[in-house]
Amino acid sequence: MGFSHPKPTASWSGDHHRLHRLLQRHPQLLPDGAPVLLAVSGGQDSMALLGLLLDLRPRHGWRLCLWHGDHRWRPESAEQAAALSRWAAGRHLPILVERWQRTAGQIPSEAAARQWRYDRLAQRARELGSTRVATGHTATDRAETLLLNLARGSHRRGLGSLRRRRTLAHPIELVRPLLDFDRGDTARLCRSLALPVWTDGSNSDPRFSRNRLRLEVGPVLNDLHPGADRRIARAAEQLAEAEDAAAELLRLALEPLQAPAPAGAIGAGLQRGRLAGLGRCNQAQLLQSWLEQTSGRRWPAHSLADVLDRLPPERGPGRADLGHGWQLQWQGTTLWLCRDRDPAAP
């Protein structure tokens, strides 16, 4: 079954203290006394998180419930889910096991499985009245995500992904308490806390890009520079912090650029001349930020390149189809956003 059950040792450790201090610094990560839904795969990361939360529960008063998703990718997955359920029941931990019922002709993929998993977690959290869904993502996961996104040419927002908190389905947040721990830490925790671990054979399948990175690239980096996972993960956090800080500054910078928009426009317009007078990089960032605030959508930078070329007032009126029914229009001194055709457009 891919199951291991080590011998027990002392329960409180520096790892417990590390997580406890983190939760004191970030009390909204897992608020005291709150119902918490924990996604448990049975692997070492989620089991290590479960062990830590169980030991810290008397100090924080959480009501823990477990959720396990059986993606039905492996013949032994149902047996492992049943074993995990028995283990949880033996410790009086409520657990819900759900199996992915794929529609006929649906091609299983990592993205589809992840979406199903998050949809079911959000639904279960609503049923429990919980606003926190905790996962066992570690610094190793965050480092791998940064490296994969860097190789793909991701925007800096993607390089700062896998944050400690993100909205899953308002008001429910997905939280990742173990981002200061790496995979070596969680292996040690499972041994010291005598936690069972159910291994997933698909994690060694080289067809998946993350597995190849984990098996071939990660060991080399950590051999060259021990602790590389944590440092790369810290770089991702710094990028995320810088992105948040830049977003705040952009919101402040946009305020004096706002202008009345014609009837039919969505939200306020922008002063075309003042925007055009800035450097092109600042124009792009401000325009992108304004569009995101006004439309609620993230528009790729390449889709705005033509707009920036035509932005100077001497270029006259114009419009740009952004897709999804959105149009950017400008005339005279004003730039505005609308949906579909606007009778006020030039």
Rounded to the nearest integer, the mean pLDDT of the chain is 90
Q: What is the pTM of this model?
A: 0.84
At residue 346, the pLDDT reads 39
2 — pLDDT class (breaks 50, 70, 90): low
101 — pLDDT class (breaks 50, 70, 90): confident
At residue 259, the pLDDT reads 94
Among 117-121, 182-186, 240-244, 295-299, the minimum mean pLDDT is found in 295-299
Per-residue model confidence as pLDDT tens digits over 168-211: 999 999 999 999 999 999 999 999 999 999 988 777 878 788 89
CA dihedral (60, 66, 67, 73) in degrees, to 10, reads 120
Domains of the chain: 3-243 (3.40.50.620), 260-339 (3.30.465)
Count of Cβ atoms closer than 10 Å to residue 253 Cβ: 15
Per-residue model confidence as pLDDT tens digits over 147-156: 999 999 887 8
CA dihedral (167, 169, 173, 175) in degrees, to 10, reads -80
Whether the ω angle into residue 171 lies within 30 degrees of 0, i.e. cis, is yes
Sheet bearing 269-271, strands edge to edge: 258-259, 269-271, 334-339, 326-331, 318-323
> Which residues neighbour 276 within 8 Å (Cβ) at sequence distance 6 or greater?
283, 311, 312, 313
Per-residue model confidence as pLDDT tens digits over 219-270: 999 999 999 999 999 999 999 999 999 999 999 999 999 999 999 999 999 9
CA dihedral (218, 139, 78, 172) in degrees, to 10, reads -150
Residues paired with 3 in a beta bridge: 198
The answer to whether the beta carbons of residues 293 and 251 sit under 8 Å apart is yes
Three-class secondary structure of residue 222 per DSSP? helix
**Rounded to an integer, what is the distance from CA 7 to the centroid of its chain?**
35
Residue 299 has pLDDT above 50, yes or no: yes
155: left (phi over 0), alpha (psi -120 to 50) or beta: beta
